[in-house]
Amino acid sequence: MNNFILNILLMNDYPVNRQFSFQDPASSIMEKLILLHDGIMFYLTLIVILVGWFLAFIVLNYNKTKKIIVNRTFIHGSTLEILWTIIPAFILVSIAIPSLKLLYLSDEVINPAMTIKVTGHQWYWSYEYGDFHDYKEELISFDSYMVAEEDLEEGGKRLLEVDNRIIVPEKTHIRFIVTAADVLHSWAIPSLAIKLDAMPGRLNQTSTLIKRTGVFYGQCSELCGFGHSFMPIVVESVTLDEFINVFLANW
C-alpha cells in the first residue's frame, strides 16, 4: 500500500461528526497554529482552575454565621497588587509574541513555484493555473462543482466531494490568488490553515507549502446565499512526478 493511500486512511483531513479537535495539519503554518492554541489553552486552564477555586471557596465559606479571618496585608498589600498586575501582563505578552510572529509568517509569500487563481461564484469555484498551458496553449482552468449525494461513489463524503479537484505537488511553494465574480465568498481549508476572503473586484493572496500527499477538504466560509453550504473545496496533493506526468499530461 503506497503512502498516498496510507495518508487517506490514517489522517483526519475532513470534518467528522462530534469533532472537537483540529484536523491533522498538512502545512507548517497549521502545525504552529495548533501549538499556539495548545499553549493558550494551558494558560486558560490554569486561570479557570485558580479563579474557580477562589469563587468556590468564598461561596462555601462566607456567610453571616461563619466569618473568614484574612490578614489586612493580604487585602491591601502593595506586593499583591503588583503581582496580580505583572502576572497577567506576562501571560498576555507570552501569548502576543508568538501570535504576531505567526500572523506575519502566514502573510509572507516566498518565491512561489506556481500560482493558482481561485474565483468564487454562486455557487461553485473556478480555478486557473497561471503557470501552465494546455495543448491549445491556453491557461489550464476549470470549474469545480459539488457532487450531488445521489452521484457519490462508495466512500465519498457528502457535501464535500467535487467533480474537479485542485491537483498540486507536495513540498512546493504555492501561491493562491482569491477573488469573487459576484458576492463575498471565503476560500477555507482547515488542514492547510487557509481562510481567505473572496471579494469582487479585489485580489487577495496567500501561500502554502503542503508537507505530505493527501486529499484536503474545505468549504466556503462566508454566507453567500442559499447555495452557500454547497460550495466545497478539495485540494489533492500528489508527488511532483505524478503532478507532471499525470495531471499536466492529461491537459
Residues 72-100, mean pLDDT to the nearest whole number: 81
Q: For residue range 99-130, what is the model confidence (pLDDT) as tens digits?
A: 888 888 887 777 888 999 999 999 999 999 98
- Which candidate, 169, 167, 162, 187, places its Cα nearest to that of 177? 187
pLDDT at 216: 93
pLDDT at 106: 81
Tell whether the model's pLDDT for residue 80 goes beyond 50.
yes
Residues 229-246, mean pLDDT to the nearest whole number: 92
pLDDT at 107: 79
Q: Which domains, and CATH codes, for the chain? A: 28-107 (no CATH), 114-250 (2.60.40.420)
Give the CA distances from residue 237 to residues 102, 105, 137, 144, 245, in Å, rounded to whole numbers and listed in that order: 24, 22, 25, 16, 14
Three-class secondary structure assignment of 121-156: ECCEEEEEEEEEECCCCCEEEEEECECCHHHCCCCC
Residues 134-145, mean pLDDT to the nearest whole number: 87
Q: What is the pTM of this model?
A: 0.80
Q: For residue range 6-63, what is the model confidence (pLDDT) as tens digits?
A: 444 566 778 888 878 888 889 988 999 999 999 899 889 999 999 999 888 877 776 6
pLDDT at 75: 63
Q: Which residues pair with 124 in a beta bridge?
A: 121
Any idea which of 99-113, 181-195, 212-226 has the lowest mean pLDDT?
99-113
pLDDT at 110: 76
Residue 135: pLDDT band with limits 50, 70, 90: confident
Q: For residue range 52-71, what is the model confidence (pLDDT) as tens digits?
A: 998 888 777 766 555 655 65
